Structure 1
């Protein structure tokens, strides 16, 4: 009871976060045995997070890499870190693996925890800035801690801090990332860092204590998501700047930074971050933030670059500036008394916006200039290539400072600032209303919690029960298929390995080149999967082939009780035109229509060596230029030498020979003049 009374205000903020979470996402996501809502996600990311955990929980442990996953890209090694499966949670529940049900997820409760911590820590930070946090003394008789009685004005402002916490609970990055990039919903890590910084004089009276606390923050960040390392690290820079201004000495400023870095690196080592196969950190670009997007929605260049802090954040900042202007002398005295905090805070804000902007400076949707960066620095920075995310720190810092200063600078009716912050929270929700409604409707749909797996044939269970198989192998590396995730889920459920998986910071080129080698030495304990274009290679390998639920599978030995599918003389497969990249054209259910200056690139396929025939149907081909190309991502691409064997305005056919594996092969169609060109289908056949 004493603890509840002591922390009742942060707990009230946490309760606000819990109520918002339950209102938006409901309670069904909290069932740890309910996983279908994850597997039914529109985005592959939540599926990756869950299946990464499922493969990891049954993976063997080989010291020192306790976070290594040997089941996801068998026989190679990756890390639970790079499946964004919340490594700390994954490690904890792996220890309990023997008593957990076959299907188990912790992501729903993680979401609830994130909202609770977001609300509780936001209240604590806002109250601290406002100068109205409850204080405690000691009863002379009982020696117990007792709350010092507060005035009605202080109580009203504490309620205002709870309402201000609503601005952070409804912070756009939290709502957008929750159950999308689930680990990235840990915005509360930034708030925790701000809280520790604000209370550093009390909580960190010695350098040793500071090293322990900031070292713990390094462990938390590295064990949740890498992008929080630079965000929290920038708050730590603010701590170091203030310690320097306080003239506490070099050690007091630098050693906590060193502790943060060392503990984070040590944990990353144990998680296997530096020992994974197919690691590729540099993708050659930085997705930077537009600083104006913090206050103006809709100007981000891409979804990944959205850093909008919300209408409520903007309103809180404006109100804080108005209050400071109206009560200028009070504000001036406050900032003069807290000069070290002001300087350190500005340093954090400026450095954060520089880091979040990347090397391309964009303001209000207009690119001003690009800063040339040496390749070694680019390779390092590209570990955080989606660097726009770092601006979340700036957004949250502005939100809590805005709310806190409204409470601190207001004079007169003590209830008024609470009302103003309630308006800010309401404005934050109003600006986010469409996203909140979409989330609510999505997570409250009954069909979302049903088993919609494509694997319905009872033969799948018979295959698993036979005990003959322990590995699943895909012919090529391509996870852009629903069938891929269904099959990996099947493998994970039955304790099998998978030779292919989607991971963050993965060298897709290396995976694409390496994984087809699985077919060089066929194994009787492996079930082979051929999805879409991989079916073209079926006649090249001496397997027994079967089709279950439309999926072609192969086995070295016959599978009892299932009828084999005869091999076609000429395997063929039609490309999915909805996955094409189109410029100056439209994609519909009937195909692709290109207008003046139109260009079309089909989806990317991997083709095994052989002779191929490609047939395009549509209209206007006599006004087009058609070719085929291949080449690894971010490397030189090559045009194929093709032979047109059929030329007609409504149908074009060409053939070519692949003497080696063709990675990321595509067919291209360009218009030559003002006439429209329509592509209704593209069919590829292996003719030799």
Structure 2
């Protein structure tokens, strides 16, 4: 009891910061997300990513143990081996949950509690760092309260709020703060840690990064490099510089091996490009070329930086003395910012919305760095370091109550700048409907199928998870302990998966229920299966299914493309169709077509001023324009046919406007003739 009391007393201000973070989380997301048996809110998310994270864990939980790969998952893309790493399911929690699987409820999620933990850690570590930079003593109550207010800037850091329950593992911004704390607080303390302790602590950080999300490895690794630069400047010896790096890298690599990172099928795909950051975007919102490239550090961070600079100018003598005392830390911090800028920009340097130049790099390096192709995320490190440093300097160089008022203003501005996003999240997560079961699979026959024991596997005819039914079917399989042959993985070779899944249809198995989702129904007459339809989903089985009425064969299966999923240039797309203006182009959603004869019918207007063709080809490989035979040519309807003796992967139809005449496409129907 005495030790607990002493601990609470020593860390009371950091714990207060943690309470602030927890309070912000509860205000935004409520308490229902904390119920580990409540999973429907995850599956109801408009983005498929939370469903991937949760269902990846469920499939992994049902998969058997296969040493030495504790993180191997044999159920998500059966019978192939994948890793819990590649579903972004927070591997450390997934492994722990699997070890405790026998005592956990049948439906169990840890994402809600993880979110609360992330916000609490963000607040607690931010307070400790701001107080350290601000030179605050434990007994200085007023300044410690000011440091808690400053922690609000980090609790409301945009990357944390935007990624929470979207890319949930990536919401572990506190890993960066923990690395900064280890460098700026623990290593600078009066009782400087020994070399052995340094290796242990950085090794633990390597384990945490590898076991939570891989993008934190380079971010935390760069903080470690900065710490090593400082140790080198202080001439603390080669061991102090090299051994912590070896510990960090060795621990991370060992864990990745155990988690199956290097032994997973379909992994390691390079998309061949880097999504780099525009560094001006740290202070100017909406400069990111895409959502993945948005690195805005927040209005509160910008104000804190301005106030810190103002304080340094006013207190320039004290500031000069401060920086001279800490010159090695300052030099290391500048090295860190430069490294992070280089890593986050990628090989295309963009500033203030303008591309300045592109640096050609060898393909070998490109393939390696493409593991972190969304490299703009790495700029979160710079944003958090600037926020911590600015809030700390405001605390140090603004006197008395002014510092508290200014940091409160920064925290309020940080929230105000994100008011639309925060309000959207508050509304969604406090809506009772968000927690209801909204699965499309409502027919009681589904549960009869699960209880019959006839099936233990679910197989999709093709690799395509861009369908609403896909996630409902995957959830059904996971909940009932079935395997699935298709699932979405990060860093996944989609080409290999597409080819592999299509080939599996050559060997049909009686214990497998086959799902023909959307366009896959075109191939229903290609396979010797008994066909049934439940809730609009076409299912196939080698053996008849008792209690279900078999669907009669269609002579010419047809399916209409979803035009809203098309890529459109110089035009608009909605539920009513696509309208192309001058120079407009439409490229439909990608389908996988099995061998056969096909007819495509486009309806609309203005087709006599268009150019239409079909194409196919694997991602980032050569695209093949197809030879087609137009059998109907009219301004309001175009019809063409083609044949293929092999599967067509990522097949699309393209429509180009030839002049200024408006071109409208209201429907594109595809029929399989035989």
Please state which band the TM-score falls in when normalised by the shorter chain. over 0.9
- State the superposition RMSD in angstroms: 0.8
Which residue is equivalent to 1:92?
96
Q: Of 131, 138, 153, which aligns to 2:135?
A: 131
Which residue is equivalent to 2:52?
48
Which residue is equivalent to 2:436?
450
Distance across 2 between alignment mates of 1:327 and 1:96: 56
Which residue is equivalent to 2:229?
241
Distance across 2 between alignment mates of 1:457 and 1:431: 46
Distance across 2 between alignment mates of 1:432 and 1:685: 48
Which residue is equivalent to 1:185?
171
Distance across 1 between alignment mates of 2:457 and 2:385: 48
Which residue is equivalent to 2:119?
115
Distance across 2 between alignment mates of 1:33 and 1:2: 36
Shift of 1:674: 1.1
Shift of 1:204: 5.1
Which residue is equivalent to 1:200?
187
Shift of 1:624: 0.6
Output one character per residue of 1:130-168: Cα deviation in whole Å (capped at 9) or x when no partner. 11142xxxxxxxxxxxxxxx3xxx221111100000000
Distance across 2 between alignment mates of 1:619 and 1:133: 74
Give yes or no for the alignment of 1:673 onto 2:652. no
- Aligned residue for 1:557, secondary structure, equals coil
Distance across 1 between alignment mates of 2:626 and 2:307: 63
Which residue is equivalent to 1:67?
71
Query: Is the contact between residue 227 and residue 390 of structure 1 (CA under 8 Å) also seen in structure 2?
Result: yes
Give yes or no for the alignment of 1:493 onto 2:497. no
Which residue is equivalent to 1:276?
264
Give yes or no for the alignment of 1:636 onto 2:640. no
Distance across 2 between alignment mates of 1:6 and 1:344: 29
1:224-623 aligned within 5 A:
224-411=212-399, 414-623=400-609
Which residue is equivalent to 2:199?
211
How many residue pairs align between the two structures?
668
Output one character per residue of 1:24-82: Cα deviation in whole Å (capped at 9) or x when no partner. 00001001000000000100100000000000001011100000100000010100000
Distance across 2 between alignment mates of 1:329 and 1:207: 36
Distance across 1 between alignment mates of 2:357 and 2:645: 44
Which residue is equivalent to 1:657?
643
Query: Is the contact between residue 536 and residue 573 of structure 1 (CA under 8 Å) also seen in structure 2?
Result: yes
Task: Give 4+ residue runs of structure 1 displaced > 3 Å after superposition.
Answer: 201-204
Which residue is equivalent to 1:33?
37
Distance across 2 between alignment mates of 1:398 and 1:532: 49
Distance across 1 between alignment mates of 2:625 and 2:248: 50
Shift of 1:280: 2.8
**What are the ranges of 5 or more consecutive residues in structure 2 without an aligned counterpart?**
none
- Aligned residue for 2:613, secondary structure, equals strand
**What are the ranges of 5 or more consecutive residues in structure 1 without an aligned counterpart?**
135-149
Shift of 1:333: 0.2
Output one character per residue of 1:557-601: Cα deviation in whole Å (capped at 9) or x when no partner. 010001011010011111111101111111122111111111111
Distance across 2 between alignment mates of 1:116 and 1:209: 25
Which residue is equivalent to 2:105?
101
TM-score (norm 2): 0.98
Shift of 1:544: 0.4
Query: Is the contact between residue 124 and residue 133 of structure 1 (CA under 8 Å) also seen in structure 2?
Result: no
Output one character per residue of 1:606-630: Cα deviation in whole Å (capped at 9) or x when no partner. 0000000101111111111110000
- Aligned residue for 2:568, secondary structure, equals strand
Which residue is equivalent to 1:145?
none
Shift of 1:201: 4.1
